[in-house]
Amino acid sequence: MTPREILMFSARLRLKGTHEERTDRVETMIRELELENCADTLVGSTLEKGISGGEKRRTSLGIELLTDPPVIYLDEPTSGLDSHTAKKIIQLMQVQAKNGKNIIFSIH
């Protein structure tokens, strides 16, 4: 599956509203997570090359952010990522905090 397909699947399971509203929410999430370049690329597996580790991490964050939770808890969200990608994850969390979300995460 691609990040867009994964987010749409999650939206269909977890969000109320019309198909158009869910699609709009997914497209907004893709833009916020800066996944536009890989939104239609297969995620991949151990046998098949796909998107990068940082893009996978942002896709998994997107699944949780789709429901617009008031509190976000992340356990080591930057583990295994290069410094540039880790910085992007932290910046994304800063934006969420500025939008009124409570962010709790551990980093070591």
Please tell me the predicted confidence (pLDDT) of residue 17.
Answer: 93
Question: What is the DSSP-derived secondary structure letter of residue 38?
Answer: G
What CATH number is given for 3-106 in this structure?
A: 3.40.50.300
45 confidence band (pLDDT: 50, 70, 90): confident
User: CA 69 → CA 30, 34, 51, 62, 99, distances in Å?
Assistant: 17, 20, 26, 11, 11
Q: How many whole angstroms separate alpha carbon 108 and alpha carbon 106?
A: 7
Q: How many whole angstroms separate alpha carbon 14 and alpha carbon 20?
A: 15
pTM, whole model, 2 decimals? 0.87
Q: How many whole angstroms separate alpha carbon 17 and alpha carbon 83?
A: 38
57-76 pLDDT, tens digit each: 999 999 999 998 999 999 99
